[in-house]
Chains A and B, each alone.
Chain A
Amino acid sequence: MNIKIAVIDTGISKIFDKKVNIEHFYLYNNEIVSGYKEPIEQHGTLCLKEILKQKVAFDILDINIANSYNELQLNGIILGIKKAINERADIINISLGINEHSEKLYQACQEAVEHNIAIISAASHSGEVSYPADLKNVVSIQVHSEHNIEKVKKIDDSTLSVYMSNNIVQFGNSATALNCTSMAAANFSGILGKKLDGIPFYDKFSILKKDYGLKLDSSKNLVEKLDYKKCKIYNELENKKVAVIMLPSQKSQEIDKYIKLNNIVAFYDHDLKDFYSFEQPAQLEHDFDVILIINTKECKVKISDEISAHFKNRKMIYLGEFEGNITDETLIYKHEDFYTENLATLSKPVILISGIGTNLNKFDVQTNLMRNFAQNHLEAKAISYNPEGSLYGYDIFKYPTKVTFPDIVCSINNYMCAAEEKENFNVWTINVGGGCFFINNQNKNTFGKLITSYLDACNVDIFILCINNFIDVKTLKFYILKLKNMGIEEILLLFSKNSFHLYSMEKKNGINVYELDNASYEKSLNFLRENVSEHIFTLDDLENNNLYNHVIKTLTSR
């Protein structure tokens, strides 16, 4: 099978149709349509000639994006890239550029990368910025005319320089210098196409890395201005009656009726396969406008495609991890949304809840404290990475996939500062997702990093560390000492009944959890009490409000 190269340019003359397998497309009414449009000038045709110098049979997509004035515009390039993706190009050659940066152009290039398509683009001659060549996910081509160095040499992680002769070529009535970056880009597209010959599913980016040392970066750093607003999810739910579907199913039984938002009127019973009210006994309830589907686990859940049709006439909102991009991520906060370069002093007391790993009742602790605060008429503000918090009005953040210092510290601090300025409350409860320290080599960095970020961003008054029998006393003491050295005076331990499966500790797909039986739990608890001087609370203590009472005592004594 021939390698398919898309030439997004001023069009290719049809005189090549007999020699090469070409499909023609052109820009018409803001759309790329199939068909031939006579090029006004020869730039695109010359690019094709450079590509064909490799003497390999290619399939060519001629995507003529020149408008009737022979002008090239940003939108044409974006539409051209999208067409090339749909037509399953292997390489996209863009021997042209614009000075204007565009997020949409970046996204289009990123989509191409995700489809294993390499975009080759000409750098500016004048040294000015030129897009798409200057995007980090595009191969930028410069040119050199020195015989004595290699044909293609690396300039930086996304830039190559290609040797071209000084010749001028005549085509029709005009002349073009071959040593321009446009021709060099086309020449390189041909070289890369030849390397892939016959095997389109070769990884283009591995080849670019292996043969030329390129490391194309598809990440980007969003820097936006500080702007505190409520989580958008609450705007979506405002003045509407809401039904919730909790995943996994048993989570439906755990909804705290005292602090749930008033407009959440029904929950889905997975056994009875219908919606019920929160009254006792529960009644069938179908009077609602929105269905909120929440996955509380970290792994992506698949929902049947037919669900939306089944619940027609009702708006569906997905929170948490789902397959198929159905989650509307704009509804919750991202740390980047609050990035500025400053740090400010915070004034409200902070209760931070963390764990040595996953499934250690952190969320239960937070919800218990929030319920108690509410019952005692204290205003508390909660941060959570668990979308379940949206039932209670918590500020929900997306768990960051990358934690970069010091940006993350500034972002957290600025968000908290803005919230303290704009809202009236007495205390923070922050439930930091992931783990506090590493319990296995899997979560060694990312999880610990987020906790460190919070400790740098604010002064923590009480640190509630959720643990289980998996952690040995020596390690636990070391961690407690470490926290104390960071200036935390009050460390409380919550001893969970959930333990970790030893065999799952090093696996990428997460730690498996099981529930200890009473005998093992009691034995471990007693051992812990004999060896650790910090206050240790059980789940019963949590239910009996002993933890809350201790927290209040600590805060009021300061």
Chain B
Amino acid sequence: MFLSKIIETNIGDYIYDAVNNKIIHLPEDLSGEIKREVFSEKYFEFINENELRDFRDPIKFNIRSYKLYSDNEFKKILKRSINSITLCVTENCNLRCEYCCYMEKYLDSNYKLKNMTKEVAFKAIDFLMENSSDSNVVYVSFYGGEPFLQFNLIKSCVEYCKEKYPFKIPSYNLTTNGLLFESDDIIDFVIKNKFHMLVSLDGTKKSHDEHRKDLFNKPSFDKVFKNLIKIYKKDPKFFKSSVGISAVATSVNRCKSQYAFLDMICKSNINFTSAKLMGPFKKTLNEKLPFHTKDQIDDTEFEFIKEYILNSMKIYHNGFNNEGETTEIYPGDFCIPSVRRNFISPEGKIIICERVDDRNEIFTIGDIYNGIDLDRLNKLFDITLEKAQKCKNCWAARFADFCFKDIFDLSAEHCKQCSQEVYAGLKRYIEEIKNNKEIIIYLENMSVE
């Protein structure tokens, strides 16, 4: 059975044909036969009736280049359409969260944590402003470490934009652990300058304190929570529209109370992510896991989880409605490199985004002094294409969820997990949309972030 999969659902079995991108209901007896690899008359009648190919005939996908533009088009894009930079203002932090991607740097006593200078920050802002004439809005994001440890630098950047680009004030974003909001200066500053912030809060005290501890191994929930109330009381409107919550779920802290807490927070933005199993964190988690039990969680009970589910269903819905029969695909979910994200390292390197491993040179696509290097970008496209060849025999390739940050992690384990997720997603989609016009209308009218 090439590029196809039988999906068992609570409303019967379906066959997903990844080539013509269709899901077709399988009669029960036929499904049983195919699973036993028996291909009788029934099978041939079925494929004829439904105008399907013979799934036993070898076929594979042709992975298309991820570069969708000519060099000339790309040069114009790089000159006019860049809309975002993320400044890594410091690698330092006042917390030592177990799942932090910088943990290896923090544990390495020989590594000197870096801070960004004013010169680098200003130059990075110039790079953005000079190459964004076509962008509706430009974004300057502050990232760390804990960015508020460099509050003076952040203030200088905002002043610099005000003075030099008064008609193009960026939309400011910042990711923080929320500890430094004890200072009224910081709160007043972010409200005044309409910062959009993502505050890391894993949920209830128990869920949060499990991993988010300070340099002396002391939990941080109480301080962060108090600070959030402080911002809320200062400006509830700002809190609702501009302070998002970033919650990390791990197999240890994931529980019903965590979900219930997050579900009720007065927010339009709850960013719920799974922790990546970095080396040191893997070890900690394995040690803690035997002592924890997991609640049975009914996801659909929680509004913010429902949104995630609908978002993922939307991907399948669009996949089936917008893409026809073809073997030419580009698997994964990619952004436009160098347009929507540009992570600026403390020394001024432009890295494709903040989520990649910045030690791997392939992700460095330029620097703030010379701009984006098209050759480097092309090299990244080529490597991505090479790595994605793994998908050419996979039935789940059209819905595979990976991007540049994952291209060096496409291991067998990753692929297995990916196809399991696609299987679960398809199953849910089939079960939910069957005879449910309301959800179809909803999916057609929603858009994803």
Contacts and interface: CB of A to CB of B under 8 A. Distances in A.
Contacts of B135: 248
B336 interface: yes
Interface stretch (B234-242, B279-287, B409-417): B234-242
Contact of B449 (A293, A305, A504, A507): A507
A307 interface: yes
Contacts of B134: 248, 513
A248 B133 contact: yes
Nearest to B330: A502
Interface string A452-464: 0000000000000
A54 to B, nearest CB: 18
Contact of B264 (A203, A441, A514): A203
Contact of A516 (B73, B81, B168, B314): B73
A270 B168 CA distance: 10
B137 A299 contact: yes
A288 to B, nearest CB: 17
B339 A501 contact: yes
A444 interface: yes
Contact of A520 (B73, B228, B266, B321): B73
Given A204-B266, A302-B171, A512-B339, A502 B68 contact: yes
B264 A202 contact: yes
A274 interface: no
Interface residues of A, number: 58
Contact of B136 (A293, A324, A510, A517): A510
Interface string B59-101: 0000000001110110011000100000000000000000000
Interface string B112-144: 000000000000000000000111110000000
Contacts of B387: none
Contact of A200 (B167, B171, B233, B339): B233
Contacts of A117: 236
B334 A503 contact: yes
Contact of A203 (B70, B265, B335): B265
B222 to A, nearest CB: 12
Given A444-B444, A506-B448, A517-B72, A306 B266 contact: no
How many B residues are at the interface, by size bracket?
A: 35 or more
B70 A519 contact: yes
Given A204-B266, A303-B169, A441-B445, A298 B136 contact: yes
A327 interface: no
Contacts of A116: 236-237, 239-240, 266
A115 interface: yes
B105 interface: no
A248 B80 CA distance: 11
B167 A515 contact: no
Interface string A296-329: 0111111111110010000000000001100000
B232 interface: yes
B167 A206 contact: no
A303 B266 contact: no
Contacts, number: 138
Given A249-B167, A303-B166, A514 B69 contact: yes
Contacts of A514: 69, 73, 76-77, 81
A219 B321 CA distance: 33
A508 B446 CA distance: 9
Interface string B317-349: 110010000000000001110010000000000
B267 interface: yes
B446 to A, nearest CB: 8
A206 B336 CA distance: 36
A85 to B, nearest CB: 9
A247 B135 CA distance: 11
A1 B317 CA distance: 45
B336 A301 contact: no
Interface in A473-519: 501-504, 506-510, 512-517, 519
Interface string A126-159: 0000000000000000000000000000000000
A207 B264 contact: yes
Contact of A206 (B81, B236, B239, B303): B303
A245 interface: yes
Contact of A297 (B70, B136, B229, B444): B136
B447 interface: yes
B181 to A, nearest CB: 13
B237 A114 contact: yes
A442 interface: yes
Interface string B159-187: 00110001111110000000000000000
A304 B81 CA distance: 22
Contacts of B390: none
A515 B137 contact: no
Nearest to A302: B169
A324 B169 CA distance: 12
A300 B137 contact: yes
B194 interface: yes
B169 to A, nearest CB: 4
Contact of A201 (B162, B266, B303): B266
B46 to A, nearest CB: 28
Quick one: which of A304, A440, A513, A520 has the most chain B CB within 10 A?
Answer: A304
A88 B234 CA distance: 8
A482 to B, nearest CB: 18
Contacts of A293: 167
A372 to B, nearest CB: 28
B336 A245 contact: no
A28 to B, nearest CB: 26
A115 B236 contact: yes
A297 B132 CA distance: 14
A111 B445 CA distance: 28
A356 B28 CA distance: 44
A375 interface: no
B162 to A, nearest CB: 5
A245 B167 contact: yes
Contacts of B335: 503
Contacts of B69: 514
Interface in A170-221: 199-204, 206-207, 210
A519 B339 CA distance: 23
Given A116-B236, A445-B445, A520 B70 contact: yes
Quick one: which of A207, A442, A444, A514 has the most chain B CB within 10 A?
Answer: A514
A203 B303 CA distance: 12
Nearest to A4: B233
A68 interface: no
**Nearest 8 CB-CB pairings of A with B:** A302-B169, A203-B266, A299-B136, A304-B166, A442-B447, A297-B136, A201-B232, A517-B72
6 contacts: A245-B167, A247-B167, A303-B166, A501-B68, A502-B68, A514-B73
Interface of B: 68-70, 72-73, 76-77, 81, 133-137, 161-162, 166-171, 194, 228-229, 232-233, 236-237, 239-240, 263-267, 303, 314, 317-318, 321, 334-336, 339, 443-449
Interface of A: 1, 88, 114-117, 199-204, 206-207, 210, 245, 247-250, 270, 293, 297-307, 310, 323-324, 440-442, 444-445, 501-504, 506-510, 512-517, 519-520
